[in-house]
A and B are shown apart, each in its own frame.
Chain A
Amino acid sequence: MDYEFIIKFLPLYKNAAILTLKIGIIGIIFAIIIGLALTIITFYQVPVLRNITKFYIELSRNTPLLIQLFFIYYGLPKVGISIKAEMCAILGLAFLGGSYMAETFRSGIEAIDVIQKESAYSLGFSKLQTIIYIILPQAIRVSLHGIIANIIFLLKETSVFSAISIMDLMFTAKDLIGIYYNTIEALLMLVLFYLIILLPISIIGILIERKMKYV
């Protein structure tokens, strides 16, 4: 084991991890927002929009992130929209994650008894108030496990960003292997940094889940 190598390139990995995490977090926040919006559209069966939603969900879930990224990265400039690679990565993650979040929220909502909706209506809550104050808070609790699984899944998916020249963890590892042939050390650090990012999320997830159970 070449410890010198590890120590030398630790800062490089650290920066890559921060970049991965940054893109990941922003992308996931957008994914959650998209997921919530789609959930409201599906819940209230908004005409036209709900068909678009369905189409988007199928498209997003049934194509690999790498191909989605290529479309954004190479396709958008062709129609005159050019954006930075980082932005592409965020968009790609949001595009992929939006559908996963929407499906998770939907299954959470389906687990809530209709009487909750009807009691809210009976009290005079509007449709939007009902979903915001009554349905979603319960649905999110029910689907918390799935949401955390989605977050971990999406963070793992960030490993394809190297394909559009983002200097993330994967890119760093590949680069170092290419230059120095220290394959074992480079891969070990790659795995280690992904674990450093993902393990705490798993643990925090378990803790939140435990806390969110109704007393």
Chain B
Amino acid sequence: MTQLALVIDLNVCVGCQACVTSCKEWNTSGSAGPMGDQDPYGADPTGTFFNRVQTFEVGEFPNTETVHFPKSCLHCEDPPCVPVCPTGASYKRKEDGIVLVNYDKCIGCKYCSWACPYGARELDEQQQVMKKCTLCVDRIYDMTMAADDRKPSCVKACPTSARLFGDIHDPESAVSIAIRESGGYALMPEWGTHPANHYLPRRKTRIKIHDDELERADNPLKVDRQLPRPAMNEPTLDDVTTW
């Protein structure tokens, strides 16, 4: 069985909100209807988004790290939001594991949003139906698009490639490899929802440079007991001289 999902690399997300705006642009223009905004230029703007990027500060000053945290529906493998829906408007697709809302059936009772521990669902004030990330289901199967474009809009927009998209049930997919090899994890595992989306943790990036990588031990000048010029502590151009 296929389970499409996003894998989000918190190590490289810079919090630029490009995924937020591209998501809104793509999905508000689609056939499913607009993602309404209320009072967009007023004092208290609000509106529907499928994807939000939040920011957290981890640690204590001065040893802090800023973590940008994109959050959208995680397309849980055991979605608690689906069985509670009284109309069957919320459903999980067998063929690819995407959790969707049928806007024509939804009565806007909000019960599913209570049953999602992640706050991934938002009631659209304009259409009065429940909305959430669709994994761009209207993009990823659109054969009129170039193969490279058949990805969720957010994935295409991310300038740092922090968002990977693929089938987490295929052990050889890029997302499965990333989860396996880079310590991918799920949010709130304590509820047994088995989110399909995973996050890759922050990693410390360190390189070890050994002395002999900066200074050759077998420099022929040194073998001849001469010092290379310019001196080690003088400014040099690469390749002009080597120590």
User: Does B bind A?
Assistant: no
A contact residues vs B (CB 8 Å cutoff):
none
